[in-house]
A = this chain, B = another copy of it.
Amino acid sequence: MQKLFPITRSLTGTGVRETLVYLGKLLSYLTIHEVPSGTVAFDWTVPDEWTIRDAYIEDESGLRVVDFQQHNLHVVGYSEPVDVWLNRDELEHYLYSLPDQLNAIPYITSYYQRRWGFCLTHNQRLALPHGRYHAVVDSDLKPGVLNYADLIIPGESDKEVLLSTYICHPSMANNELSGPVVTAALARWLQSLEKRRYTYRIVFIPETIGSIVYLSQNIDHLKRKVIAGFNITCIGDDRCYSYLPSRAGDTLSDQVALHVLQHMDDDFKRYTWIDRGSDERQYCAPGVDLPIATIMRSKYGEYPEYHTSLDNFDVVTHSGLEGGFIALRRAIEIIEQNCYPKVTVFCEPQLGKRGLYPTLSTKKSAKQVRAMMNLISYCDGSRSLLEIANLIKEPLWELQPICDRLVEHGLLVCEK
């Protein structure tokens, strides 16, 4: 994450490619794709590619008072090239700062309307004296390509779980470098497994236009194959967990996400479809209708550092990323493991004669026996292990080993 952080990513351009190449070194079989500017994707058109070399505001003495080399948020994303002298008042129209966050550089973009501008802290802005200023954006906006990458990790079934994240944000940590980083860790973990029940499709795209392009190229396949999936974003801080549903609201992804978060954090935040704001807008759009839910830490738009230079490694922590990774790994494990268990005998089985009662009675063992009996009591073949886990209020990851033991003893059969 520290290596990827300084790169100037945007919808398109060198920064995106550099990021994808780096990820490709971590992830065997990652394929980088390119789509020419002007390509039509549903209602949208792939925009020109943006190349940014330098951007600054100099005062009359040649001192750079705002400098892209210092922080890549200082230039408005997709700024068109400019080289002008302006007085202090004229300059105002091209400056963006946050009066409520005096030391934060805001993150501003203008992808579909030609503009140029500079972002700076409000304190910087207030300190600019009257005088003449030289504003320079050394950029290109011309036909090129939009890049994205994907990776297919095959499983026993060709039914797919889709993990999508976006790589269009420059130097910000929770939104959004945490997404690609945790997704890469999940992909490496998935690749390390001996076998997988489902096929995994891991997608690194620029947000919005990227998911629209990806869908326009793969929609029929995705609609046939994807049984669950997550948009992976804002997954790096340690302040809370959050859930945002798919549009349908009750897909397997939603059930799994809720189960995981309920058992990991009593106080996780539950958002609604109305609060959406990322690629689920495309994946769950009418007619697309993929079963994509979102598990987050602090949600975009809901934490003070969001879309500013303050979204850095003070916000994103090791434990924040790890907690996010664990939540998503558990969600995937549940999708892998979920089944329809059915007890093989009528009435309660005699556990004692099989040594399934613990010989030493402790509080923990009593809880486990209770969980085992509750599990068995619902194993009628009509309820999934996930549904049973919800009914008996146990995390599936604690129920799974009990289920496995009962299968070993021939007391349960599990239909996948």
Contact B212 A380 (CB under 8 A): no
- The residue that A286 contacts in the complex, of B44, B286, B381, with Cβ under 8 A, is B381
Contact yes or no, A286 B379, CB < 8 A: yes
Chain B residues with CB below 8 A from A376, complex form:
286
CB pair B345–A43 under 8 Å, yes or no, is: yes
Q: Please tell me if A247 contacts chain B, counting CB pairs below 8 Å.
A: yes
Q: Which residues from chain B contact A268 at a C-beta distance below 8 Å?
A: none
Cβ-defined contact, A289 with B43, below 8 A: no
A213 to chain B: closest residue by CB: B347
Asked if A350 lies at the interface with its beta carbon under 8 angstroms from chain B, I say: yes
| B-side contacts of A289, CB under 8 Å | 380
Closest-CB distance, A395 to chain B (whole angstroms): 15
Asked if B348 contacts A285 (CB within 8 A), the reply is yes
A345 to B42, CA, bound (A): 7
A343 at the interface (CB under 8 A from B): yes
Closest chain-B Cβ to A294's Cβ sits at a distance in Å of 15
Copy tally for this chain in the complex stands at: 3
Does A274 sit at the interface, judged by CB under 8 A?
A: yes
A286 touches B216 (CB 8 A): no
A191-B112 Cα distance, complex, nearest whole Å: 48
Note all chain B residues with C-beta closer than 8 A to A285. Answer: 343, 346-348, 377
> Does the CB pair A219–B281 fall under 8 Å?
no
Check if A337 is an interface residue, CB within 8 A of chain B.
no
Q: A392 at interface (Cβ–Cβ under 8 A)?
A: yes
Tell me whether A348 and B287 are in contact in the complex, defined as CB-CB below 8 angstroms, given that A273-B377, A274-B374, A377-B273 are known contacts. Answer: no
User: Nearest-CB distance from A66 to chain B (Å)?
Assistant: 24
| Interchain CB contact under 8 A, A347 and B42 | yes
Instruction: Report if A215 contacts B (CB, 8 A).
Output: yes
Q: Which of B216, B247, B276, B343 contacts A346 (CB 8 A)?
A: B216
Give the chain B neighbours of A392 by CB distance below 8 A.
274
The residue in chain B whose Cβ has the minimal distance to the Cβ of A215 is B347
Q: Which of B215, B287, B380, B381 contacts A380 (CB 8 A)?
A: B287
Q: State A113–B357 Cα separation when bound (angstroms).
A: 12
Is A352 in contact with chain B by the CB < 8 A criterion?
A: yes
Is A53 engaged at the interface, CB distance under 8 Å to the other chain? no
Asked if A102 is an interface residue, CB under 8 A from chain B, the answer is no
Task: Report B-chain residues with C-beta under 8 Å of the C-beta of A346.
Answer: 42-43, 215-216, 219, 285, 287-288
Which residues in B have their C-beta under 8 angstroms from that of A273?
377, 391
Determine the distance from Cα of A41 to Cα of B347 in the docked complex, in whole angstroms: 9
Q: How far is the CA of A392 from the CA of B287 in the complex (A)?
A: 19
The interface residues of chain B lying within 8 Å CB-to-CB of A247 are 377-378
Which residue of the partner chain B has the closest CB to A276?
B377
User: Within the complex, what minimum Cβ distance (angstroms) separates A246 from chain B?
Assistant: 11
Contact A286 B343 (CB under 8 A): yes
Interface: A353 (CB within 8 A): yes
Q: Tell me the A270-324 residues at the B interface (CB within 8 Å).
A: 273-274, 276, 281-282, 284-289
CB contacts (< 8 Å) of A353 on chain B: these are 112
Q: Is A342 on the interface with B (CB-CB < 8 A)?
A: yes
Q: Choose one: B274, B352, B381; the contact of A113 (CB below 8 Å).
A: B352
Residues of A within 8 A of B (CB): 41-44, 112-113, 208, 211-212, 215-216, 219, 247, 273-274, 276, 281-282, 284-289, 342-343, 345-350, 352-353, 374, 376-381, 391-393
